[in-house]
Amino acid sequence: LGPPGRTREPSFRRRPRRPGAMSKSTRLPLVQADLAEPKDWLSPADIQEAFRMQPQCVCPDWSSLKMTVVSVIAPGAIFMRWLLCQASAGEEDAPRVSWSRVGICSFWAAGALLSFATAACRNPGVVPRAPPRADEASHDAAARSNEQVPARYVSINGTLIKQRWCTTCRVYRPLRAKHCSYCDRCVFRFDHHCTWLGNCIGLGNYRSFLFLITATALFFGHSAAITLEVLRRDMREGSALSGTLEAGRLQVLRRLFILNGGKSLWIAYSVFVFFAFFVLLLYHAVMIGQNLTTNEHVRDYYIQRNPFDVTCVDNYRQVFCCPYGSPLPLGSGTEELRPAQSFERGQAQMRAAV
């Protein structure tokens, strides 16, 4: 363990990359910032400037989207084309399902498709790389990756956070940023890499991702309720037409698994998908209340306290109302530290902050 309030350094090894393996999944733009003065990309103004340097839309990994289309979008389209139309069919004065419920279900379907396209094609926010220096042309890439770069700490609310040096992007990673091994880019406020979307989830598309899982959960939950209502009416009609009790049971089973097998299968599938997205939505609701990202929570990055956690209301306001983050109370201690002095200097800064 490190000094009090210090962040834990996750220990992990990177798997060796096969030559050319990253080129197929790299879809995020390569952003280089040739500035007169180097930037730390810590303040909201600097992050906004970084977003202006890059396009707003990116091309997702289409190979990853195939699984999403087959397992989620295609079944939803089948429901909208056949089951929902059948549910709204009936007499003009008394349809099976009210048009208001059909309209609400269609609204959530349209919202899910729109947010899916937005989250998959929106730039999550690439950290600008430092342009290669002229003296680096004669050095080997492996030698540069093994170069000893001094450690650096940033003090926020009395907690020291170590900024890692990214050997690929040749920059100190901004706070809460991470280098994605799939996209080969450092991403602002990296949450996770979503293979269902073929894109990283970061500062630029996190809110679109939240609306996507919300609309998808409501669509599948609403569709399960509509299909269940239609199935119950069909079963009541079958029971009324049956004669004896034994014949009625056989008729119920026949209508449930043969005549209405598609409806029964859709109810089971939609209920499963609804609970899956509902649990995911609850998880992110808790993470937003604690001002944590998925990457920080999985790695248990903060040992004692999260320096970005203020209050639950302020945390939600920061995510939904501050697209580039809120100003951070940075303390002194952003200077570079030699590796031999990083731990001792960090302890001294922590004692001074307390």
pLDDT tens string 137-151: 444 444 454 456 776
Tokens found for residue 191: 């949450």
Whether residue 206 is predicted with pLDDT greater than 80 in this model: the reply is yes
- Whether the pLDDT of residue 288 is over 50: the answer is yes
pTM, entire model: 0.79
Between CA 300 and CA 321 the distance in angstroms is: 26
Q: pLDDT band at 18, cuts 50/70/90?
A: very low
DSSP code string of 96-160: SS-HHHHHHHHHHHHHHHHHHHHHHHB---BPPBPPPPGGGTTS-HHHHHT----EEEEEETTEE
Strand partners of residue 32? 129
Torsion region of 186: left, alpha or beta (phi above 0 gives left; psi -120 to 50 gives alpha): beta
| Chain segment 305-340, per-residue pLDDT in tens | 888 988 999 999 999 998 887 777 665 444 443 333
Phi, psi of 95, rounded to the nearest 5 degrees: -70, 165
How many residues appear in the chain? 354
How confident is the model at residue 62, as a pLDDT?
87
pLDDT of residue 350: 42
Question: What burial class does residue 281 get, using C-beta atoms within 10 Å of its C-beta: 0-12 exposed, 13-18 middle, 19+ buried?
Answer: middle
DSSP 260-302: THHHHHHHHHHHHHHHHHHHHHHHHHHHHHTT--HHHHHTT-B
Structural element, H or E, at residue 338: none
* Tens digits of residue pLDDT in 212-271: 999 999 999 999 999 888 888 777 765 554 554 445 566 666 666 666 678 888 999 999
Mean pLDDT confidence for 63-73: 91
* Token code pair at residue 168: 């690929």
